[in-house]
Amino acid sequence: MVEIERVSKSFHKTVKEHTTEVKALAEVNLSIRANEFLSIIGPSGCGKTTLLKMIDGLIPYDSGKISIAGKPVTAPGPDRAVVFQTFALLPWRTVLANVEFSLELRQMRAQERTQIARDCLQRVGLGEFETHYPHELSGGMQQRAGLARALAVNPSILLMDEPFGAVDAQTRQLLQEELLELWQRERKTVIFITHSMDEAVYLSDRVVVMTPRPGQVAEILDVPLARPRCAEAVRRDPKFVELTNYIWDSLKKAMGNGHTSA
């Protein structure tokens, strides 16, 4: 589905007229299967978000190749949608109008886009809140609205950049469960960035562990937990505990191998 082959990316920073090169990613190789839920975890500054943006086509890569279903990624496309950590809702628009926004950009007829937006709000449990404004919603509800907006364009790939990082622990667990239920129904390909080992293991089919900057794939781990998953049962499963501990040890080992973290 998504093929990442020897992808590298550097940025240039200028401070007091001195320009330095910051290498974010180096020779990244990764294959992501259709309908897979794949999480990427690694230290801050290892290039996780940069990689996600390159898959979306928001920024170019310096070398290598990223392709989706055999076609090189050169720009954003209708087959992809991003859900960010910050809710990124337009404060002057209602929840319904926020979800319609990307459909407006595609010049869809008003009646059709409103129906699609209402359907997506129902799917994330916000059907009764379509006339509310973002400031009237809790953080969890705002994130559901952001997810509904992404679903409205019916992407085959959901790119999620720490989408639950800005909500409290209780809301985060609830959103994780709701996301899994949604994924079970719709079976989209999900690429999920997180700092949480528990979250990565609970949600995913596989977990990619990255090294500190410049980011490379250190390990790809299969998650041996049956689906559908019950949060309480999964978190008591010895395989869950063993894998989360292994990932933590793997990250500590990678950070001790002379890489520079930011």
The pTM is what? 0.89
pLDDT single digits (tens) 75-115: 999 899 998 877 788 999 999 999 999 898 888 999 999 99
pLDDT over 80 at 260, yes or no: no
Fold of 1-79+155-166+177-262: Rossmann fold (3.40.50)
Instruction: Give the model's confidence band at 262: pLDDT under 50 very low, under 70 low, under 90 confident, else very high.
Output: very low
Dihedral, CA of residue 249, residue 253, residue 256 and residue 259, to nearest 10? -120
DSSP category for residue 62: S
Q: Output b/e per residue, 67-78; b: 16+ Cβ within 10 A.
A: ebeeeebeeeee
d(CA 7, CA 186): 30
Contact 41, 249 (CB under 8 A): no
Angle, vertex CA 161, rays to CA 158 and CA 165, nearest 5: 125
Distance (Å, rounded) from C-alpha 45 to C-alpha 255? 12
3-state secondary structure of 190: strand
Intervals of CATH 3.40.50.300 along the chain: 1-79+155-166+177-262
Q: Residue 259 has what pLDDT?
A: 46
Q: Quick: pLDDT tens for 112-157.
A: 999 999 999 998 889 999 999 999 999 889 988 999 998 898 899 9
Torsion angles phi and psi, residue 85, rounded to 5:
-65, -45
Tracing tokens 């989209």 back to the chain, one arrives at 188
